[in-house]
Structure 1
């Protein structure tokens, strides 16, 4: 029962965000109205505030993705295969959450989503690179990781923002082509 009500609350948040009913911060009253339950029920039994709702959404989306990332992407010391492992293992799991992610990437309802992702992936990637003594960039390892995370998130958010995102079996080839090029080479096709 609690899980079902939480799902109703989350779906209400996502409906509000996707319908442009809000241009910023949501209130529990708006969410309760959309979910068809009382604000008090949300507050007393499920979430104390909207930040708790977004924390729950983040964890619901990212727990499985982070697990797959840790178990399948950062397991081989051959860093040249890291993006192939992302394409093979991670993109299908990300695709499963495409409806939620499309809203998080394209609305202003949750401005902490990208920071949440960065915070979750930064340390494991830094540790992986330092353990394998990898960095051929003219930048520091930390700077390189920040750019890599931002670039990867940008590619994924563009993919999932399409009305009908390509299936991961098709998009994985596109992802690898894009990730292996600099942004300028994507623009300048001479």
Structure 2
């Protein structure tokens, strides 16, 4: 495993976000399974963009704005966390941290059979 996966931003996310999300997993399930608040992801985006801005490049290989990149990171973090917590018995955060870092770090192509890429 690449050492970059073990430090800085992804480690911070896995150590800080996963325990909090796990603690509030029942509430998160309700947000995902009902239409109580359809704008909750927007609130997360606005709240956390400033927090992650120092970690995000101003320019990137994909020719997208920094705001686009930050929203994508936030939404991707929400998606990975939500799928994990939607399991009937999600494993505790300590057991999911490595998978989380790998899913956040590696391309989605690593999940698809090579013959379908």
* TM bucket normalised to smaller: 0.7 to 0.9
Tell me how far apart the structure 2 counterparts of residues 108 and 124 of structure 1 sit (CA, whole Å). 27
Residue 122 (structure 1) shift: 1.4
**Is 2:67 the counterpart of 1:147?**
no
Tell me how far apart the structure 2 counterparts of residues 163 and 98 of structure 1 sit (CA, whole Å). 11
**Partner deviation per Cα, 1:34-61 (whole Å, 9 max, x = no partner):** xxxxxxxxxxxxxxxxxxxxxxxxxxxx
Native 8 Å contact 2:31 2:37 kept in 1: yes
Native 8 Å contact 2:9 2:55 kept in 1: no
**Is 2:12 the counterpart of 1:89?**
no
Native 8 Å contact 1:155 1:175 kept in 2: yes
The secondary structure found in structure 2 opposite 1:89 is helix
Which of 105, 109, 113 is residue 40 of structure 2 equivalent to?
Answer: 113
**Is 2:60 the counterpart of 1:137?**
yes
The alignment covers a number of residue pairs equal to 107
Residue 184 (structure 1) shift: 2.6
**Partner deviation per Cα, 1:82-133 (whole Å, 9 max, x = no partner):** 011111222112211111111112222220211111111112222x247xxx
Native 8 Å contact 1:104 1:110 kept in 2: yes
The secondary structure found in structure 2 opposite 1:137 is coil
Tell me how far apart the structure 1 counterparts of residues 58 and 112 of structure 2 sit (CA, whole Å). 26
**Is 2:110 the counterpart of 1:185?**
yes
CA RMSD, aligned part only?
2.0
Segments ≥4 residues shifted beyond 4 Å: none
Residue 135 (structure 1) shift: 4.2
Tell me how far apart the structure 2 counterparts of residues 129 and 92 of structure 1 sit (CA, whole Å). 21
Residue equivalent to 1:76: none
Residue 180 (structure 1) shift: 1.0
- Seen in structure 2, the aligned counterparts of structure 1 residues 88 and 189 have a Cα distance that, compared at 3 Å, is farther
Residue 189 (structure 1) shift: 5.0
